[in-house]
Structure 1
């Protein structure tokens, strides 16, 4: 097994958690509103992960796709690269009508969100 395969099996990759340049560009653009945006993003993302779990349990590919799409878009704005990649993977699974098989991927998304939240707090000095 390659190192990349080993890393992917544990939900860890060498991929950056947050794209520094994109994150700082958004911070510069929003200035004092940035911290509020971060709080909204984190709260909404937690709700979206919960919605993904429900969609997976109910085999609801349509809602799973829409929720993954919304999470991917919000994550792309902040440069949370792991969440963008994983949400995109889940969207593809929903297109293939396979959300019922994606509990592990959804938990990987939840873990990536937790890593992103930790890094965001570090970057904001919180």
Structure 2
């Protein structure tokens, strides 16, 4: 029985380390996405664009923002996992967290863009 307990604890420790490493990786990826967005904003600011170039920049920005949203959703799930204990995992909260729905954005100023 003691061997099973040691094995279980070892497995939990490894899983915890893997989750921490994954979180660090996601934080790095989020930083890279933020830097890409800043580069795109500055390119748009400092370069005159025709319609085709403007579309390409808008599409690149859209793709990068979607990538960033996916990373943030993963980080939110990891944040929920850190708050779990064995009882909450057994009660199915881990599965519920992994099914986190897509967030909706509530406009702050330019509400007419979302009508």
TM-score by length of structure 2 reads 0.41
TM-score normalised per structure 1:
0.38
